[in-house]
Structure formats: structure tokens, C-alpha cells
Amino acid sequence: MSESNHDNNITIERKHSHVEICLHGDVAYNSKTTGFERFDFQHDALPELRFSDIDLSTSFLGKKIAAPFMISSMTGGYSEAAALNRQLAEASEHFQIPLGVGSMRQALENSSHRESFAIVRKYAPSVQIFANIGAPEIAKGLTDREINIMLELLQADGLIVHLNAAQELFQPEGNTDFRHVLHQLAAITAKIPVPVIVKEVGCGISASAALRLIEAGVKAIDVAGAGGISWQKVEEIRYTRQFGQETRFSMPALEELLNWGIPTAQCLLDIRAMKRDHPEYKEIEIIASGGIQSGADIAKSLALGAQLAASARHILKALHQGTLEKTIETWLNDLRAIMFLSGSAKIEQLRHKRLIIKQ
Ligand SMILES: Cc1cc2nc3c(=O)[nH]c(=O)nc-3n(C[C@H](O)[C@H](O)[C@H](O)COP(=O)(O)O)c2cc1C
């Protein structure tokens, strides 16, 4: 087998087992939460509005969207991924909300699985779709041709770059060379015709990292904070399956590392404070993700400074259980209820509500 065929097979196995482990494995943070449970909205006894008039529509990167929610980047690049991406695309189109696809490294390395990405645009012709690539590929430097392949396959509205240092650290075949990411990112933001969004995958983005990303030309930041899924745990399961119980880290440190990261609500608070200190960056949009699993989480995300919230694992679980559309509908209806009780007819009003810290 040639080296590139071997690498391809590893990538396919990885994307496949990620879905399986995320659905069935014990991969939640166990010593950390998202932090949303620390906050309450203040009840408005005089909302002066009609429930049926509540309007969830807002905008993201200059385009109108029907609700402040997006489906996070998950999959693509192997044959079964096409069916998953098709269903995610249908849901995005139905709800008129944005969608990210999974890492497109496979589409760059091998043209045979490009259809599993292209299908998304076929079933979601009118919503924002975002391409996706990882920091290690960015660090190596993407060619103009590679960037064009990703954007054209999806007729993408933007490129999402994921930062996943902890995941790569735990991944059996991980790439831990994170030098030059920022420099290469700045080169990409300067030349591509669509906005670049940077996200984590569950360890969160601090205010200082966000500032460096914004200075490199990034237009939106998805915090993907801790408290939902631990990708360290996902990769630890893959490592154990391959190499047995032998562990690379000592016991107390392992627990710390498996639960590493900044809780989602903390990322939002810190980045909001940073943006207040830098009014020149007020247009930069923030996505709240990492453990989002209810309309209340979405509502609190907005009140903590996010433009919208996003979810991956709970959406994947709902899809697997055949309840994808029902789940999104329920979350949006819960969001409407919170807007009603907090006196917010529009999303912009919800964004200005002060949250109370629970005692
Ligand atoms: C099965 C699965 C595959 C994922 N693959 C990618 C990926 O290829 N690129 C990426 O940026 N994030 C990927 N993610 C991470 C999510 O986009 C998200 O940042 C992370 O899971 C935290 O959000 P959550 O707690 O709602 O799942 C994946 C998530 C899941 C569940």
C-alpha cells in the first residue's frame, strides 16, 4: 500500500470512529461543566408582547438567518458520511440556519470522497455553508488550488479553521506541530474571497487567543468551549483500542488533561470583556458552542455576547435517534419561551438582557 493510501485509510477510519465514539462512548467532561447553569435571566412580569410575535431571525456574517443557531462542523470524506451530511443539510435548509461540514482534508488528499461534501450544497441550496480544515494543514500552508477545491465543492460562504491542540495530542496518529499556524492563517485571511472563522473543538478559546486571531484577520470566532464533549477522551478511546491500556500520561495528570479546557460560558465572558476593551473589533462575531443542548443554553449564549450558538454532538445524537428536526424545533421553541419571559420580542433585545449569577 502506498503511503498516501495508508494515510487515507487512517483518515477514513478516524472520521468513522469519531461518529461511533461520539454516539456511544463515555466522552463527556466529568469534572467540568459549560458554566451556563451558573446564570439566570431576570423574569419580566410585564413583557408587553405577544408570544406568537416573537421573532428569532438575526444575521450572521452579513446574511439573514432564521434563528441564532447553527449545526457545527462534523463529518465528510467517507462513503457513509454522505448520508449524514445530506440529513444535516436538509435540516439546515428546513430551519434556514447555517451549517459547517467536517474537515475537508480527505477531499484534498483524495478526490473519490468529494461527493460526501458536495451533497451538502445540493440539499441546502439557500443557507450559509462553511468549509472546514484543521490547524495542522494550515500550519503546513494551503495552496491556492487547495483553497479553491474546498470553497468550490460547497460554494462555501466561508472557511472554518479548527484549532485542536489537545485532540492532536491525544490522537494516536496526531500531528502536534502547531508552529506557524497564526502566520499562515493571516496569509489565508488576506487572500481568500470569503470570511475565515476559527473554532476550537471543545477546549475553548481564551480572550488573548481570540485577540491574536482577530488581528490575523479572522472575522468570527467559535469558542467551542469545555463542558460538552472531551475530544481528548474520544482520542484516548481510539488510542486504547489500538495500543491497549498503556497510557502516555501519569494518572493524576491524565484526569486533568482529559478534562482540560475553558468552560464555554467563561470563554464568552472573557471575549466579551476583551471586545469592550477593543471597540475597533465590535463587528467580530462570536459563536457559542461546546456542550450546547437546549434553548436555554442558546438564550444564555446570546446574553453573554454570542451572535449565535452551535451544536455538534447532541445534533448527531438526535440525527441517530431520528429526532433531528424535532430536537431543533424544541430548542427554538424553548428559546422563544425564554424570550417571552424576559421581555424580548427580538433577538437583539435578548442580547441586551443582563444575566443574574445564581447564589
Ligand atoms: C462526530 C464529530 C465529528 C467532528 N469533526 C469535526 C471536524 O471535522 N472539524 C471541526 O472543526 N470540528 C469537528 N467536530 C467538533 C464540533 O464541531 C464541535 O466543535 C465540538 O464537538 C464541540 O461541540 P459540541 O459539544 O456541541 O459537540 C466534530 C464533532 C463531532 C461530534
Q: What is the DSSP string of 31-72?
A: S---SGGGEEEPP-S---S-GGG-B--EEETTEEESSSEEEP
CA of 342 to the centre of ligand 1 (A): 31
pLDDT of 247: 73
pLDDT of 122: 98
Q: Is residue 332 part of a domain?
A: no
DSSP label at residue 224: -
Backbone angles phi, psi at 132, to 5 degrees: -150, 135
* Residue ID of nearest Cα to ligand 1 atom 3: 74
Gap between the Cα atoms of 21 and 309, Å rounded: 23
- β-partners of residue 28 are 229
- For ligand 1, whether the C-beta of 289 sits within 6 Å is yes
Q: Where are the beta strands (DSSP E) in the chain?
A: 39-41, 58-60, 63-65, 69-71, 99-100, 129-134, 158-162, 196-199, 220-222, 285-288, 308-311, 355-357
pLDDT of 13: 82
Q: Is residue 330 part of a domain?
A: no
Q: Point out the residues of the chain with pLDDT beneath 70.
A: 1-7
- For ligand 1, whether the C-beta of 284 sits within 6 Å is no
pLDDT of 5: 64
Q: How far is CA 305 from CA 96, 207, 278, in A?
A: 22, 13, 14
- For ligand 1, whether the C-beta of 344 sits within 6 Å is no
Q: Is residue 95 part of a domain?
A: yes
* Residue ID of nearest Cα to ligand 1 atom 23: 290
| CATH for 280 | 3.20.20.70
User: Which cell goes with 105?
Assistant: 482534508
pLDDT of 265: 98
User: Which cell goes with 3?
Assistant: 503511503
Q: Is residue 336 part of a domain?
A: no
User: Cα–Cα–Cα angle for 198, 199, 203, nearest 5°?
Assistant: 145
Number of domains in the chain: 1
Gap between the Cα atoms of 224 and 264, Å rounded: 7
Q: Measuring CA to CA, which residue among 310, 306, 340 is closest to residue 328? A: 310
Q: Is residue 144 part of a domain?
A: yes
Q: Which residues contact 107 (CB under 8 A, 6 or more apart)?
A: 76, 77, 113, 114, 117, 149, 150, 153
Which residue range(s) make up the domain with 13?
Answer: 3-31+63-288+308-317
- How do residues 204-247 score in pLDDT, each as one tens digit? 999 999 999 999 999 999 999 999 999 999 999 999 999 987 77
- For ligand 1, whether the C-beta of 124 sits within 6 Å is no
- For ligand 1, whether the C-beta of 290 sits within 6 Å is yes
Q: Measuring CA to CA, which residue among 190, 74, 61, 76 is closest to residue 128? A: 61
Q: Is residue 229 part of a domain?
A: yes
pLDDT of 359: 80
Q: Is residue 334 part of a domain?
A: no
Q: Is residue 117 part of a domain?
A: yes
